Amino acid sequence: MRNLNQDTITQAVLARFAGTPDPRLKEIMTCLVQHLHAFAREVKLTEAEWLQGIQFLTATGHKCDTQRQEFILLSDTLGLSMLTVAMNNEKPAGCTEATVFGPFFLEDAPHYEQGADVANGARGEPCVVRGTVKGLDGKPVADAVINVWQADADGNYDVQYAELAHPQARGILRSGPDGGFHFKTIRAEAYPIPSDGPVGDMLKATANHPWRPAHLHFMIEAPGYERLITQVFRDGDPYLDSDAVFGVRQSLVADWVELPDGSYSLDYDFVLNPVR
């Protein structure tokens, strides 16, 4: 294989991967090469632009550490995360829709009893959250494991504070025998995704903002049902139609109701998809 030119190189590269033993890896590599080459041809990629792309990806890698995953942020802001979620979480009508996981989940969040204050000192407007977990058949799902996490009034998750001694604004509860759950927390607020790295530079260069509309994250697990990873979004938020990570679904938008004492309440019911 010599003297390859712009008309013959794609076939030569594809031939190089033709013997890949794992059929799925072969499919992915073949498709990746085809699309990458088609992309470079379509935009008539210059050598300077190729190098700029390499430098951007290098900087993206350098920005990653145990707390920061810049590649996931890149995937999120390119819509790739939400596309993957959408393709892999098609559910029957009536089920609660899934959306992006985000980088701020903690594996070992504190466990709480019903009614507890999961804010645990996080700054924000007081808020009670109530709901039920049901199956698609309408039957309550008892003892479901409900993981909840959110940002504080300053738009930060607890993991973004280096000096914090204990988890805040996150916790794990279990639904009661009637599928019900309730807990205290703080009102969700809009916040910008971390934008002090290459992804932030990319957003600026493309005249895009880094904001996510106010939301509360949920992960709900129960035997016999698909795991649900989702978020509930605050109605009226100015960023609902321009979420930096494309995660908003109308069925996940809910009302945070202001109560006479100035605190808030959110009621939201979840419907799980049974495992087939």
Q: Which residues are catalytic?
A: 157, 191, 212, 215, 217
> Does 198 help bind ligand BEZ (rule: CB under 6 A)?
no
Distance CA 155, CA 193 (A): 9
Smaller CB separation from Fe ion, 102 or 124: 102
> Does 76 help bind ligand BEZ (rule: CB under 6 A)?
yes
CB of 182 to ligand BEZ, least distance (A): 23
> Does 63 help bind ligand BEZ (rule: CB under 6 A)?
no
Six-digit token string for 208: 């895009």
Stretch of 31-39, 46-54, 100-108, 180-188 contacting ligand BEZ, by CB under 6 A: 100-108
Stretch of 54-62, 101-109, 134-142, 268-276 contacting ligand BEZ, by CB under 6 A: 101-109
Give the three-state DSSP class for 143.
coil
Site residues for Fe ion, 74-133, by CB under 5 A, read: 102
> Does 109 help bind ligand BEZ (rule: CB under 6 A)?
no
CB of 203 to Fe ion, least distance (A): 16
Among 102, 131, 135, 179, binds ligand BEZ (CB under 6 A): 102
Distances from the Cα of 88 to the Cα of 49, 83, 182, 273, angstroms: 33, 9, 29, 13
Residue whose structure tokens are 């073949």: 30
> Does 210 help bind Fe ion (rule: CB under 5 A)?
no
Distance CA 160, CA 167 (A): 11
Build a one-symbol-per-residue string for 228-257: x at contacts with ligand BEZ by CB under 6 A, - elsewhere: -----------------x------------
CB of 22 to Fe ion, least distance (A): 35
Among 63, 73, 118, 273, binds ligand BEZ (CB under 6 A): 73
Distance CA 152, CA 186 (A): 7
Contacted entry of ligand BEZ, Fe ion, none for residue 73, CB cut-off 5 to 8 Å set by kind: ligand BEZ
Smaller CB separation from ligand BEZ, 141 or 186: 186
Which residue in the shown chain puts its C-beta closest to ligand BEZ? 102
> What residues make contact with ligand BEZ under the rule CB under 6 A?
73, 76, 100, 102-104, 193, 212, 245
> What residues make contact with Fe ion under the rule CB under 5 A?
102
